[in-house]
A = this chain, B = another copy of it.
Amino acid sequence: MPKQTFLNLPEQKRQNLMKAAEEEFARVPLHEASIANIVKTAGIPRGSFYQYFEDKEDVYFYLLQEETKDRKLKFIHKLKEHNGDIIDAVTDFYYEFLVELPDEQELDFIKNALLNVTHKIENAFMSMFDENQTSEYTNEIVKLIDKGRLNIQSDKEIFHITQIIIAVAFRNFVEKFSRELSDKEAIENFTIEMNLLKNGLYKT
C-alpha cells in the first residue's frame, strides 16, 4: 500500500506518477522494471519515490488493484444479468473483456502480469472471486449465485466450485496471451471448457 504521503498528493501529480509506473510495467515484467525509469518518466527525484511507496512491488500491486476495481463491479453486474448462472456470467465477462480491449498500454501491462503470474498476482487479478473469504464482496457474490443449478450438497462446496472456475478461466486467460490466440479461438476454447465443467468430464 502506498504511504499516506502519496495519497496526500495533488490528483494530477499522483496520476502522472501512476501513468509513468504503468508505462514501465507495460514495457517489461515486474522483476525487470526499474524504479530509475519510473522516476525519470514521471520527472520526480528518486528520493520522492521512496517517500510514496515502499518499493517496486508496492506501486505494482497498487496499480493492479486499482485497475481491477471496476472489473469487480462489472462481474457482479454480469452475475445479476445471468440470474446467478455463474458459468454464463464468467463466460460473458471473459468475452466482453476480450472484445472491449483496454488501451494498448494497459493491455501490455496485463500481458506482462499474466505471463509472469505469481500466486500473489493471480489473486490480485482474480480478486473478483476470492480475495478474502469473509469480505463483503465475496458475501455478495455467493448470495447472487443460483445454487439451485449447482451439483452440490452443502454451501461449503460453492467454494470449490468457484476455485475450479477460477483455475480454468485464468488458465484460458494466460493461454490466450502466451499462445497468442485470436479472440475467436480464445472464446471457443473457453466455451468448450466451460461446457465440460458444467456437464462433467466423465460420462454419467
- The segment out of A2-10, A15-23, A136-144, A165-173 that lies at the interface is A165-173
Give 10 A-B pairs besides A163-B175, A167-B168, A199-B204 with Cβ atoms closer than 8 angstroms: A114-B119, A116-B118, A149-B202, A157-B192, A157-B196, A164-B193, A164-B201, A167-B171, A197-B201, A199-B200
Residue from A151, A192, A201 having most chain B Cβ neighbours under 10 A: A201
Interface assignment of A107: CB less than 8 Å from any CB of chain B: no
Q: How many copies does the complex hold?
A: 2
Instruction: Give chain B nearest CB distance to A25 CB in angstroms.
Output: 15
Is A1 interfacial (CB-CB < 8 Å)? Answer: no
**Which of chain B's residues have a CB closer than 8 A to the CB of A165?**
201
User: Is the CB of A98 closer than 8 A to any CB of chain B?
Assistant: no
In the complex the two chains form, is B149's CB within 8 Å of A203's CB? yes
Measured between beta carbons, the chain B residues less than 8 angstroms from A198 are 200-202
A127 to chain B, nearest CB (A): 15
A164–B170 alpha-carbon span in the complex (Å)? 11
Selected contact of A168 from candidates B116, B164, B192, CB within 8 Å: B164
A189 interface residue, CB < 8 Å from B?
Answer: yes
A160 in contact (CB, < 8 A): yes
Within 8 A of B (CB), among A117-171: 117-119, 148-151, 157, 160-161, 163-168, 170-171
> Given A115-B118, A117-B119, A119-B115: A164 and B202 within 8 A (CB)?
no
A197 to B174: give the CA distance in the assembly, Å: 21
- Selected A-B contacts with CB under 8 Å, 9 pairs: A148-B203, A149-B202, A150-B202, A151-B203, A151-B204, A160-B192, A160-B196, A163-B171, A200-B200
**Are B118 and A197 in touch, CB under 8 angstroms?**
no
State in angstroms the CA–CA spacing of A17 and B59 once bound together: 36
